[in-house]
Amino acid sequence: MEPFESWYQREHSRMVATLLLATGDLDLATEGVDEACARALARWSRVSAMDAPTGWAYSVALNHARRVARRRALERTVLRRTVPKPNVPAPAGEVWSLVATLPERQRQVVVLRHVADAKEPEIARMLNISRSTVSTTLRDAHRRLGSLLDDGADVTAAESLDTQTPNTKETEDV
Protein backbone atom coordinates (compact mmCIF):
# COMPACT_ATOMS: atom_id res chain seq x y z
CA MET A 1 0.00 0.00 0.00
CA GLU A 2 1.42 3.36 -1.11
CA PRO A 3 1.56 6.02 1.61
CA PHE A 4 -0.88 8.89 1.16
CA GLU A 5 1.89 11.51 1.21
CA SER A 6 3.67 9.91 -1.77
CA TRP A 7 0.45 9.66 -3.77
CA TYR A 8 -0.49 13.24 -2.87
CA GLN A 9 2.88 14.69 -3.89
CA ARG A 10 2.78 12.81 -7.20
CA GLU A 11 -0.86 13.50 -8.14
CA HIS A 12 -1.98 16.81 -6.62
CA SER A 13 -0.53 19.30 -9.12
CA ARG A 14 -1.49 17.09 -12.09
CA MET A 15 -5.08 16.81 -10.83
CA VAL A 16 -5.29 20.60 -10.34
CA ALA A 17 -4.00 21.17 -13.89
CA THR A 18 -6.49 18.67 -15.27
CA LEU A 19 -9.43 20.14 -13.33
CA LEU A 20 -8.36 23.63 -14.39
CA LEU A 21 -8.68 22.58 -18.02
CA ALA A 22 -12.05 20.96 -17.28
CA THR A 23 -13.51 23.90 -15.31
CA GLY A 24 -11.64 26.94 -16.61
CA ASP A 25 -11.40 28.24 -13.02
CA LEU A 26 -8.20 27.81 -11.00
CA ASP A 27 -9.90 28.47 -7.65
CA LEU A 28 -12.64 25.97 -8.41
CA ALA A 29 -10.11 23.39 -9.61
CA THR A 30 -7.92 23.80 -6.55
CA GLU A 31 -10.89 23.64 -4.20
CA GLY A 32 -12.18 20.48 -5.89
CA VAL A 33 -8.82 18.71 -5.76
CA ASP A 34 -8.20 19.76 -2.17
CA GLU A 35 -11.62 18.43 -1.17
CA ALA A 36 -10.96 15.15 -2.99
CA CYS A 37 -7.55 14.78 -1.35
CA ALA A 38 -9.01 15.48 2.10
CA ARG A 39 -11.63 12.80 1.52
CA ALA A 40 -8.98 10.41 0.19
CA LEU A 41 -6.86 10.93 3.29
CA ALA A 42 -9.82 10.23 5.57
CA ARG A 43 -10.49 6.96 3.66
CA TRP A 44 -6.93 6.15 2.57
CA SER A 45 -7.04 2.52 3.63
CA ARG A 46 -9.99 1.91 1.28
CA VAL A 47 -9.00 4.38 -1.47
CA SER A 48 -5.43 3.10 -1.76
CA ALA A 49 -6.76 -0.45 -2.24
CA MET A 50 -8.80 0.63 -5.29
CA ASP A 51 -7.61 -0.16 -8.82
CA ALA A 52 -7.41 3.59 -9.59
CA PRO A 53 -7.20 5.82 -6.49
CA THR A 54 -6.45 8.83 -8.69
CA GLY A 55 -9.52 8.12 -10.82
CA TRP A 56 -11.64 8.07 -7.67
CA ALA A 57 -10.10 11.38 -6.59
CA TYR A 58 -10.79 12.92 -10.04
CA SER A 59 -14.43 11.88 -9.76
CA VAL A 60 -14.75 13.39 -6.29
CA ALA A 61 -12.98 16.58 -7.40
CA LEU A 62 -15.15 16.99 -10.52
CA ASN A 63 -18.36 16.36 -8.58
CA HIS A 64 -17.35 18.87 -5.94
CA ALA A 65 -16.42 21.46 -8.59
CA ARG A 66 -19.79 20.95 -10.33
CA ARG A 67 -21.69 21.39 -7.06
CA VAL A 68 -19.79 24.56 -6.22
CA ALA A 69 -20.28 25.97 -9.74
CA ARG A 70 -24.03 25.25 -9.60
CA ARG A 71 -24.28 26.86 -6.16
CA ARG A 72 -22.40 29.96 -7.35
CA ALA A 73 -24.67 30.26 -10.38
CA LEU A 74 -27.74 29.92 -8.18
CA GLU A 75 -26.40 32.53 -5.77
CA ARG A 76 -25.80 34.97 -8.64
CA THR A 77 -29.34 34.39 -9.92
CA VAL A 78 -30.86 34.91 -6.49
CA LEU A 79 -28.80 38.05 -5.93
CA ARG A 80 -29.85 39.49 -9.29
CA ARG A 81 -33.50 38.90 -8.41
CA THR A 82 -33.44 40.05 -4.79
CA VAL A 83 -30.86 42.82 -4.46
CA PRO A 84 -32.17 46.07 -5.89
CA LYS A 85 -29.86 47.89 -8.23
CA PRO A 86 -28.75 51.22 -6.81
CA ASN A 87 -30.47 54.14 -8.44
CA VAL A 88 -27.54 56.49 -8.22
CA PRO A 89 -26.81 58.61 -11.25
CA ALA A 90 -23.14 58.55 -12.11
CA PRO A 91 -21.56 61.98 -12.29
CA ALA A 92 -21.17 62.98 -15.90
CA GLY A 93 -19.14 65.57 -17.65
CA GLU A 94 -15.61 66.47 -18.52
CA VAL A 95 -14.45 67.02 -14.97
CA TRP A 96 -15.66 63.62 -13.76
CA SER A 97 -13.94 61.86 -16.64
CA LEU A 98 -10.77 63.67 -15.55
CA VAL A 99 -11.31 62.66 -11.91
CA ALA A 100 -11.08 59.05 -13.06
CA THR A 101 -7.51 59.74 -14.19
CA LEU A 102 -6.34 60.99 -10.79
CA PRO A 103 -4.14 58.83 -8.57
CA GLU A 104 -6.18 56.66 -6.20
CA ARG A 105 -5.80 58.78 -3.05
CA GLN A 106 -6.63 62.02 -4.88
CA ARG A 107 -9.64 60.37 -6.52
CA GLN A 108 -10.88 59.06 -3.16
CA VAL A 109 -10.54 62.45 -1.46
CA VAL A 110 -12.25 64.29 -4.32
CA VAL A 111 -15.15 61.86 -4.43
CA LEU A 112 -15.62 61.84 -0.66
CA ARG A 113 -15.55 65.65 -0.57
CA HIS A 114 -17.66 66.46 -3.60
CA VAL A 115 -19.97 63.45 -3.95
CA ALA A 116 -20.35 62.23 -0.37
CA ASP A 117 -20.17 65.85 0.87
CA ALA A 118 -17.84 64.77 3.66
CA LYS A 119 -15.79 67.42 5.44
CA GLU A 120 -12.03 67.16 5.79
CA PRO A 121 -12.05 65.74 9.35
CA GLU A 122 -14.53 63.04 8.25
CA ILE A 123 -12.44 62.18 5.20
CA ALA A 124 -9.34 61.94 7.38
CA ARG A 125 -11.10 59.44 9.66
CA MET A 126 -12.51 57.44 6.71
CA LEU A 127 -9.14 57.10 5.00
CA ASN A 128 -7.11 56.90 8.21
CA ILE A 129 -4.91 59.84 7.24
CA SER A 130 -4.28 63.23 8.84
CA ARG A 131 -6.51 66.21 8.14
CA SER A 132 -3.54 68.10 6.68
CA THR A 133 -2.97 65.20 4.27
CA VAL A 134 -6.60 65.45 3.20
CA SER A 135 -6.26 69.19 2.67
CA THR A 136 -3.02 68.84 0.71
CA THR A 137 -4.36 65.95 -1.36
CA LEU A 138 -7.55 67.85 -2.17
CA ARG A 139 -5.59 70.98 -3.14
CA ASP A 140 -3.23 68.92 -5.34
CA ALA A 141 -6.19 67.16 -6.99
CA HIS A 142 -7.91 70.49 -7.70
CA ARG A 143 -4.70 71.89 -9.20
CA ARG A 144 -4.22 68.79 -11.33
CA LEU A 145 -7.83 68.91 -12.52
CA GLY A 146 -7.52 72.62 -13.23
CA SER A 147 -4.47 72.01 -15.39
CA LEU A 148 -6.24 69.21 -17.24
CA LEU A 149 -9.32 71.29 -18.03
CA ASP A 150 -9.48 73.34 -21.22
CA ASP A 151 -7.46 76.56 -21.06
CA GLY A 152 -10.61 78.57 -21.82
CA ALA A 153 -12.45 77.44 -18.68
CA ASP A 154 -12.83 80.23 -16.17
CA VAL A 155 -14.00 78.17 -13.21
CA THR A 156 -11.84 76.30 -10.78
CA ALA A 157 -11.90 72.52 -10.73
CA ALA A 158 -13.67 72.54 -7.34
CA GLU A 159 -16.42 74.88 -8.58
CA SER A 160 -16.87 72.74 -11.67
CA LEU A 161 -17.13 69.59 -9.56
CA ASP A 162 -19.79 71.16 -7.37
CA THR A 163 -21.90 72.32 -10.30
CA GLN A 164 -21.76 68.97 -12.13
CA THR A 165 -22.55 66.73 -9.16
CA PRO A 166 -26.20 66.11 -8.29
CA ASN A 167 -27.23 67.05 -4.75
CA THR A 168 -23.90 68.67 -3.96
CA LYS A 169 -23.91 71.59 -1.56
CA GLU A 170 -21.57 74.54 -1.77
CA THR A 171 -18.00 73.81 -0.89
CA GLU A 172 -17.35 74.74 2.72
CA ASP A 173 -13.92 75.42 4.10
CA VAL A 174 -13.23 73.40 7.18
Q: If the chain, 174 residues long, is cut into consecutive pieces of 10 residues, what is the mean pLDDT of each piece?
A: 95 95 93 97 96 95 95 91 71 75 91 89 92 95 83 48 46 42
Last residue of a domain, which of 60, 82, 104?
Answer: 82
For residue 88, the model assigns a pLDDT of: 59
Could you give the CA distance from residue 2 to residue 42 in angstroms, rounded to a whole number?
15
The answer to whether residues 135 and 107 belong to one domain is: yes
Rounded distance between C-alpha atoms, residue 83 and residue 90, angstroms: 19
Q: Is the pTM of this model over 0.95?
A: no
Phi, psi at 172, each rounded to 5°: -110, 135
Query: Can you give the pLDDT at residue 92?
Result: 65
Residue type for position 22: A
Give tens-digit pLDDT for 89-130: 656 677 778 888 899 999 999 989 988 889 999 999 999 999
**Residue 153: inside a domain:** yes
Instruction: Please provide the size of the chain in residues.
Output: 174
DSSP secondary structure letter of residue 167: T
Geometric angle at alpha carbon 97, from 112 and 137, rounded to 5°: 40
Give the count of alpha carbons within 13 A of 21, CB side only. 6
Q: What CATH number has the domain bearing residue 102? A: 1.10.10.10
Number of domains composing the chain: 2
What's the distance, CA 106 to chain centroid? 20
Task: Judge whether 169 lies within some domain.
Answer: no
